[in-house]
């Protein structure tokens, strides 16, 4: 296995945003399960384009990896080297005074129940977070 040596300051810069911490908390609490962007959008109630940028930063910091299956890209925590496991344990142990993490995790678990054969096949369910879909809008309004 090839391990990339990411500078610690890059990891901490990636953790300097609440949304990115929320992504890591949900993935680390959910038995380190992988999730596609649409599942994360529905779970965190964040706009698709914003969440996509946050995930890119987490990938660049070496905290997430991605694999593409058809039109879906699944994101998973990077677990090697072992100090990353300790980092995820710490992130999971952070206080949740406002209940944000508990709500994220509840929505995540509910969203994961919509999978077919263990995979996401339905896309974003919370339309207001999906972003613009020009083709859908044109069809709905009778124009092409």
The enclosing domain of 111 has a CATH number of 1.10.10.10
Is 120 within a domain? no
Output the pLDDT for position 5.
72
Output the pLDDT for position 37.
93
For residues 74, 122, 37 and 99, what is the CA-based torsion angle, rounded to 10 degrees?
-120
Output the pLDDT for position 3.
54
Segment 8-36 mean pLDDT: 92
Is 61 within a domain? yes
- Work out how many domains the chain is built from and give that number: 1
Beta-sheet pairing, 35-36 with 64-69: unpaired
Q: Which domain holds residue 27?
A: 8-115+130-140
Within 13 Å, how many C-alpha atoms sit on residue 11's CB side?
A: 15
Is 50 within a domain? yes
Is 2 within a domain? no
Q: Looking at mean pLDDT, say which of 7-11, 61-65, 120-124 comes out highest.
A: 61-65
pTM score > 0.85 for this model?
no
Is 86 within a domain? yes
Angle between helical axes of 48-60 and 18-29 (0-180°, round to 10): 80
67-116, pLDDT tens digit by residue? 998 888 999 999 888 889 999 999 999 999 999 999 999 999 999 999 88
SS3 letters across the chain = CCCCCCCHHHHHHHCCCHHHHHHHHHHHHCCCCCEEHHHHHHHHCCCHHHHHHHHHHHHHCCCEEEEEECCEEEEEECCCCCHHHHHHHHHHCCCCCCCHHHHHHHHHHHHHCCCECCECCCCCCCHHHCCCCHHHHHHHCCCC
Is 73 within a domain? yes
Is 89 within a domain? yes
Q: Looking at mean pLDDT, say which of 33-47, 68-82, 129-143 comes out highest.
A: 33-47
Is 1 within a domain? no
């Amino acid at each position: 296995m090839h391990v990339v040596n990411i500078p610690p300051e890059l990891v901490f810069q990636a953790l300097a945003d609440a949304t990115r911490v929320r992504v890591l908390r949900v993935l680390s609490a959910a038995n380190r399960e992988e999730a596609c962007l649409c599942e994360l959008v529905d779970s965190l109630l964040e706009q698709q384009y914003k969440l996509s940028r946050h995930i890119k930063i987490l990938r660049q910091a070496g905290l997430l990896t991605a694999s593409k299956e058809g039109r879906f890209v699944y994101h998973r925590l990077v677990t090697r080297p072992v100090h990353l496991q300790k980092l995820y344990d710490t992130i999971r142990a952070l206080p949740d005074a406002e209940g944000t993490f508990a709500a994220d995790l509840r929505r995540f678990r509910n969203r994961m129940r919509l999978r077919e054969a263990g995979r996401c096949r339905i896309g974003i369910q919370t339309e207001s977070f999906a972003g613009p879909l020009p083709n859908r809008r044109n069809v709905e309004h009778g124009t092409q």
